Structure 1
């Protein structure tokens, strides 16, 4: 029978289909069956999208979801302060149940704001039970998630056995929860350990994600390239300050890049490398990174990426290197491709799974909508997200998540936060600056 999403402004992010000022999307068995101006589906259930923008779900390619309980605490932190506070003080006090609560809270927040697919870069994995808790939280939360297992940042030994154990717990490559490997990388461990991690991931058929930005003159991408550790299954996170030849290495190997513009600016990584990636032939993807210092929605992330790059272009005497539509593609189709899901999600294309977001266009933030993509990039915010579908299932309707006990989650969140903060002896009012 299926569902007919009827009468919305459809932004397909499929260049062959384009935008439909008034369009319908037919969903059957979790997949997009047809897209058109007026579809005939008399037996379908009607999901009225009148007065709404219909677009693919957002894809966040890198987020440390377990940190959501302490959102906002690091608004004034540098990257060094973040490392000392988060991994030196807070992470060691997290029990598995705290990881579960933080991951569930963060994943629901993302879903609430239209992020239908999220790569959870989980590096609070000090024990097997911690990794299990994060994976369980993703599995019990509506949404499409990639559990990216990252060895605890203090770990300096082999991780292949634990990576394989976690791989056995993931339902399968066609499930809503899949898996990737988070590399410690040459900035955290030896190149020998990095090579061993990549080999273990490849043996398990996993894509890899690795943090790499320049500090103290190091060349992390060059090191990986020289050891044959870059290919089209590799995502580089951040990439700030990489040399031009390193960008060429990434492009030649078919790597993807995940940019976190808000965190990179606030924590002192340097200018987001959106424009340099484009110039090198790499389509960037976008990520929130962490909610200690950045908002958890893709709207603000897209807006920062667009504004900063256009400002840099102007300051350096160049014409604008990207448009609002480019950035929407970064946050949808390009993100899906980076996660190996480009044939499954990322655009409203017949045959793909129906991950859809419906935004209220009658809200005074957007109304009247003249340039739909421009409106989303200029003024979009989570409060506009009325309805969300994942694989054709409605997981948010009328502005509320479906079948989620938020009161119970809030209680567990506050208990977790109180216990960890008390054990750490730190205030929660923003006055704590780690030394």
Structure 2
């Protein structure tokens, strides 16, 4: 990675997401060695002569967004998934997953992470549920480090693995030896993606849970019981609590069909929930954001996948969420500022990074997003927080800084000289992937194949 310059952002409107710092109009933010050194009017003016100056006049600065559940490996499937018969998400994923090569895993992740940078996302939890071998995991990890972003890699099984097969627990034990701290640059940690008791038998999930906890690895799983059982009206999370599978080291994804008892179980155990409202509304139902927040369940937000298709336009997603919750519940719990909190400091808390990122706080790492507040869709403005959520767009993002490195500048991605463009590489790799699948007779799927069956909707 390129060196981290010292940076001085001048005259910006700071939305810090730190109650002790608050919102600061006309703020200067000094960054040294990738860390936020000082905040305030004329911050660092006496000792920042050597810093690169970013003129923040007419801008809004806030913490980088945190995505807590993203299947980066299938980013290449955008455009192949659709509403036509035979192009449903699961149909396409299952047809193409076995044909992924090492370069496909790398460039799919780099492409997804490039879109993350464009959208102001500086931390991504890569929930990889198509690890077909140790080299595939390594390709994802290398892509993440090469991108410059922060995050977590959660090691999962191959796509459509048989229920009786465990994750590659042997390789999971070797992962830290293969990737020592000095290579991870303080920007990446590891977790494990498990299928859980509704998709694997006790001899599998009990062993996987025990191994993950013995290794001290956080666990993530999809809450996907419903729509696979006749008359299902709950997620079965109470049963998971009884089995000792919930806890502060567990992240449950979606939980769209949780009933009141499920929500209580999550709250009692401190289990975290990552919601992906855009894909949940499309294929599962209404995310229970208000109910979870009011019960005290730790909640964060995520994109899920680029293959649905969706995009890394976080502000657009927040705007959709606040409107849906207002119509669905009439509650005032979900406000623009609460949503920004979910997308920043609460996401950092989900990943155990709240002491490192998630707010613009002196001493934390410099993961920052700078938006042009003078763009037509943001003026005239009253409350800048409401303006961002109600009318903000990804196009307003001028600069993205991750761990003190500028990765987006003046609206464009920053690539080193000679570095391949992840967007162009993704198109090349996708075409080659489809060609291999076609040669094997697996592509295109039959036009009579249902786009999404009722039993598949919750099986991400």
The two structures have a TM-score, normalised by structure 2, of 0.87
Deviation at 1:333, TM superposition (A): 0.3
Structure 1: runs of 5 or more not aligned: none
1:209 corresponding residue in structure 2: 220
d(CA) in 1 for partners of 2:448, 2:357:
42
2:339 corresponding residue in structure 1: 327
Aligned CA distance change for structure 1 residues 81 and 255 (closer, same or farther; 3 Å): same
1:104 corresponding residue in structure 2: 110
Alignment of 1:18-33 (within 5 A): 18-33=22-37
**C-alpha RMSD over aligned residues:** 2.5
- Cα shift readout 1:54-96 (whole Å, capped 9, x = no counterpart): 000000000001122222433438999422321x201111112
Deviation at 1:299, TM superposition (A): 1.7
1:312 corresponding residue in structure 2: 328
Match of 2:427, SS? helix
Alignment of 1:154-233 (within 5 A): 154-155=160-161, 156-159=164-167, 160-172=169-181, 175-213=186-224, 214-215=226-227, 216=229, 217=232, 219-233=235-249
1:370 corresponding residue in structure 2: 382
Question: Is residue 339 from structure 1 mapped to residue 346 from structure 2 by the alignment?
Answer: no
1:54 corresponding residue in structure 2: 61
Structure 2: runs of 5 or more not aligned: 453-460
2:302 corresponding residue in structure 1: 287
Q: Is the 8 A contact 2:276 2:302 kept in 1?
A: yes
Aligned CA distance change for structure 1 residues 403 and 412 (closer, same or farther; 3 Å): closer
- Cα shift readout 1:136-178 (whole Å, capped 9, x = no counterpart): 2112111112111111243332332122223333343871121
- The answer to which structure, 1 or 2, has the higher relative contact order (CA under 8 A, 6+ apart) is 2
1:89 corresponding residue in structure 2: 95
- Cα shift readout 1:304-328 (whole Å, capped 9, x = no counterpart): 22111111013xxxx3221000000
d(CA) in 2 for partners of 1:240, 1:22:
42
d(CA) in 2 for partners of 1:188, 1:77:
28
Q: Is the 8 A contact 2:129 2:159 kept in 1?
A: yes
Q: Is the 8 A contact 1:107 1:138 kept in 2?
A: yes
Tell me the number of residue pairs that the alignment of Structure 1 and Structure 2 aligns: 428
1:116 corresponding residue in structure 2: 122
1:414 corresponding residue in structure 2: 427
Q: Is the 8 A contact 1:181 1:207 kept in 2?
A: yes
2:457 corresponding residue in structure 1: none
Deviation at 1:391, TM superposition (A): 1.6
d(CA) in 2 for partners of 1:60, 1:117:
6
- Cα shift readout 1:324-378 (whole Å, capped 9, x = no counterpart): 0000000000000000101110001111111111011111121233211111111
The two structures have a TM-score, normalised by structure 1, of 0.92
Question: Is residue 271 from structure 1 mapped to residue 289 from structure 2 by the alignment?
Answer: no
Q: Is the 8 A contact 1:345 1:354 kept in 2?
A: yes
d(CA) in 2 for partners of 1:233, 1:58:
22
Moved more, 376-385 or 40-49: 40-49
Deviation at 1:114, TM superposition (A): 0.6
d(CA) in 1 for partners of 2:355, 2:247:
19
Q: Is the 8 A contact 2:155 2:192 kept in 1?
A: yes
Q: Is the 8 A contact 1:170 1:177 kept in 2?
A: no
d(CA) in 1 for partners of 2:25, 2:411:
23
One of 7, 13, 17 as aligned partner of 1:9: 13
Alignment of 1:124-143 (within 5 A): 124-143=130-149
d(CA) in 1 for partners of 2:339, 2:85:
26
d(CA) in 1 for partners of 2:73, 2:366:
27
Match of 1:62, SS? strand
Q: Is the 8 A contact 1:72 1:291 kept in 2?
A: no
1:385 corresponding residue in structure 2: 397
1:67 corresponding residue in structure 2: 74
Q: Is the 8 A contact 2:399 2:406 kept in 1?
A: yes
1:149 corresponding residue in structure 2: 155
Deviation at 1:246, TM superposition (A): 1.5
1:359 corresponding residue in structure 2: 371
d(CA) in 2 for partners of 1:95, 1:143:
23
d(CA) in 1 for partners of 2:295, 2:360:
28
Q: Is the 8 A contact 1:89 1:424 kept in 2?
A: yes
d(CA) in 2 for partners of 1:139, 1:77:
36
Q: Is the 8 A contact 1:186 1:223 kept in 2?
A: no
